[in-house]
Amino acid sequence: MFQMSKLYHNFHHTKNSVFSFVFLLPLILLLLLACNGFSVFYINLSVPAKTSPEPAKLLPEILPGDKPVKKLSSSSVMYAVKEENPSLNLKTHLSLIQKPNISMVSKPKKQPHRFRPQTLKALQLRTTKTTKGFTFSTKLRAFFQNSNCKLRFFMTWISSLHSLSHRELLVIESLFKSNPKACLVIVSTSLDSPKGNAVLKPFLNMGFNLITVSPDFDSIFKHTYAETWFNRLKTGNINPGEVSLGQNLSNLLRLVLLYKYGGVYIDTDVIVLKSFNNLSNVIGAQSMNIETKTWSRLNNAVLVFDKHHPLLYKFIQEFALTFDGNKWGHNGPYLVSRVVGRVTNRPGFNFTVLPPPAFYPVDWSRIRSLFREPNNRIQSDWLRRKLEQIRTQSYAVHLWNRQSKDVRVEEGSIVHHIISDCCIFCNISTSSL
């Protein structure tokens, strides 16, 4: 009987213990979960969190030609900052993160077209120093001081010496015929050579102020938006595009040259008819809107601006920020049109837009008409009126070489009369032009 009572008491005690354990089990589980959560929270906070810059400051300025960069979320900023020199604690923490599924990883994007030095060499526009230890800037300063010129003209020649024709030489003749006291700087590697100097020697023999100098882009573009753009081009962060890189370099080069030195830039297919002494801070309209009597497109084949003019600064800035190497004219005529359209009537800018007859008396689509002789009275009357208009209203005539370089100059044509007016040597057959 005593044994039975003892067994019953033990059974009752065990039962109470089991019920107590079952009752306390949820509390134990809750305590374990709380401890676990605290430990996870503590590990996350153990990552060094020194003063991190704002996300916007971590990303460089996005310029056209760059790959799009996604903005960083607040949770990923710390990793973006620390991945360059991760600490031991950070490595340990990152190892706890589950590796992404390989199927979710995006394919690598195509690398941008990288700049190659031989590209500039082929364009005869190498980044180089001039001869005898003189830099580009020191050579130009010495030339301007010694020449005592009243007006500075700039040209660029990005092709080989073999490509230089009688037409380009005629342009130089016309420039000195109308501006005999001017200085002319031709930025070109091919012409800054013994053979190039021999070709231009007749002008020097007549006492004209002429110099050829190879470009040093790093020096020319320094301290402008062009410097940033060119450095990005060299490091492969800008796609040169399908349009000739030499053409776009010429578009930029003319802007920086005028910004740093002031004067006149003209293309090598622009025949000069009058003195430019009275022109200051002007750009020419290529076309006009007949209804509104306002310009519809400007052109950069002729630019006349003072040193450090704010409009030139805006042109250079626009080139660097909106460069597109796949659109013809985007970095040239369309660029100056965009900028002038934005700054017109804004304070601080002082410039004049000249009407088309000033530099572009004939549009590119009709330039061939200036090379033909008249075949009847109607054509003769038109030629006489047009020639009179050019002689009275035009400072220069853009020949639009892209459309007219293979067109023969016919005797009696408008171009034939213009050549007779502006030539110096006048011993070249017009058919070679």
Statement: residue 158 has pLDDT above 50: yes
> Is residue 165 situated within a structural domain?
yes
Please give the structure tokens belonging to residue 227.
């410097």
pLDDT for res 134? 72
Q: Which range is least confidently modeled, 33-37, 311-315, 356-360, 404-408?
A: 33-37
Domain count, the chain: 1
pLDDT for res 339? 98
Interacting residues of 64 by C-beta distance below 8 A, sequence separation 6+: 321, 322, 323, 324
Amino acid present at 70: K
- Secondary structure element (H or E) that encloses residue 185, with its range: strand 183-187
Query: Who wins on pLDDT, 150 or 320?
Result: 320
Tell me the pTM: 0.71
Please give the structure tokens belonging to residue 50.
């020194």
> Is residue 365 situated within a structural domain?
no
Q: Rounded mean pLDDT of the chain? A: 79
Q: What is the pLDDT of residues 395-418, one digit of tens each?
A: 999 999 999 999 999 999 999 999
Q: Which CATH number do you get for residue 204?
A: 3.90.550
Judge whether 168 and 417 are in contact, CB under 8 Å.
Answer: no
Residue 353 structural domain: 117-358
> Is residue 39 situated within a structural domain?
no
Rounded to 5°, the CA angle 183-172-184 comes to 15
Q: What is the pLDDT of residues 47-61, one digit of tens each?
A: 333 333 333 332 233
> Is residue 97 situated within a structural domain?
no
> Is residue 85 situated within a structural domain?
no
> Is residue 42 situated within a structural domain?
no
> Is residue 54 situated within a structural domain?
no
Calpha distance 103→81 (Å, rounded): 27
pLDDT for res 33? 54
Statement: residue 354 has pLDDT above 90: yes
The three-class DSSP label of residue 315 is: helix
| Mean pLDDT, rounded, for 85-107 | 35
